[in-house]
Amino acid sequence: MASKPDKRGPSYDQLSAGTRNARPLLHQNAPEIQPYGKIAKLPIALDEKVCAASAENLNQLLADTITLRDLYKKHHWQVAGHTFYQLHLLFDKHYGEQNELVDTIAERIQSLGAISLAMAADVAETTIIPRPPRGREEVPVQISRLLEAHEILLKEARTMAKQADEAGDDGTNDVIVSDIIRTNELQVWFLAEHVVDVPLVRAEGVKGASAGS
């Protein structure tokens, strides 16, 4: 008796025949090609020790900038009150500017032949900006928390800019002064003006003035 034809279709082996070179290579593992904290010397006319010192400083600034960036996003989501719309937009604008700084700092670290921090756990271990509570806070507290974080970052940035200048690392000095310090100073100004105690409907010192007088 003749066997019945197989109607199940071609086998997996038949379907995959000839595709070996096109298959993704999954579950690969190998040693790091460059451990964190080590310098892969690049021909940028800077001593390896200078590169290492600048990279260490920049990684601290990177961790604190990432933390400040994420603090802005937290407050962007959680802001409440009659200034909600304005602050919702301002916090997100500052978040975007801090996010640009994150890339700028990380790229400078890589250009020094070093490795930049990237993962949240490493950032959390490194940052010196205090961790906020998970819940929502009042607007004045949100702004105060952001201003304190900016001040922490600016203090260390000024010290590190001076160190880079003294070491002859002009590129790192320029990133810190032109990008980090100037951006953070401008954001401080925009924030601080929101917590000036200015009367909303009457100028200071005006007493009993009627609408028609």
DSSP letters along 144-172, please? HHHHHHHHHHHHHHHHHHHHHHHTT-HHH
Per-residue pLDDT band at 57 (split at 50, 70, 90): very high
Per-residue pLDDT band at 204 (split at 50, 70, 90): confident
Does residue 184 fall inside a structural domain?
yes
Does residue 10 fall inside a structural domain?
no
**Domain count across the chain:** 1
Per-residue pLDDT band at 213 (split at 50, 70, 90): very low
Please report, for residues 59, 61, 110, 117, 186, the alpha-carbon distance to residue 51 in angstroms, rounded to integers and kept in the order given: 12, 15, 10, 16, 29
Does residue 6 fall inside a structural domain?
no
The neighbour count for residue 192, using CB atoms within 10 Å, is 14
Does residue 17 fall inside a structural domain?
no
Q: What is the pLDDT of residue 6?
A: 58
Does residue 98 fall inside a structural domain?
yes
Write down the residue that tokens 């490493």 correspond to.
122
- The residue segments making up the domain with residue 134 are 48-195
- State the chain's mean pLDDT as an integer: 92
- In terms of Cβ atoms closer than 10 Å to its own Cβ (0-12, 13-18, 19+), residue 142 is buried
Does residue 62 fall inside a structural domain?
yes
Does residue 212 fall inside a structural domain?
no
SS3 at position 37: coil
Closest listed residue to residue 104, CA positions, set 157, 150, 151, 163:
157
Does residue 183 fall inside a structural domain?
yes
Mean pLDDT in residue range 48-55: 98
The neighbour count for residue 160, using CB atoms within 10 Å, is 22
- pLDDT, tens only, 86-102: 999 999 999 999 999 99
Q: What is the pLDDT of residue 202?
A: 80
Residue percentage of the chain with pLDDT more than 70: 90
CATH number at residue 131: 1.20.1260.10
Per-residue pLDDT band at 201 (split at 50, 70, 90): confident
Tell me the chain's radius of gyration from C-alpha atoms. 27
pLDDT higher than threshold 80 for residue 205: no
Q: Are residues 112 and 164 in contact, defined by beta-carbon separation less than 8 angstroms?
A: no
Report how far residue 116's alpha carbon sits from residue 62's, in angstroms, rounded to the nearest whole number: 8
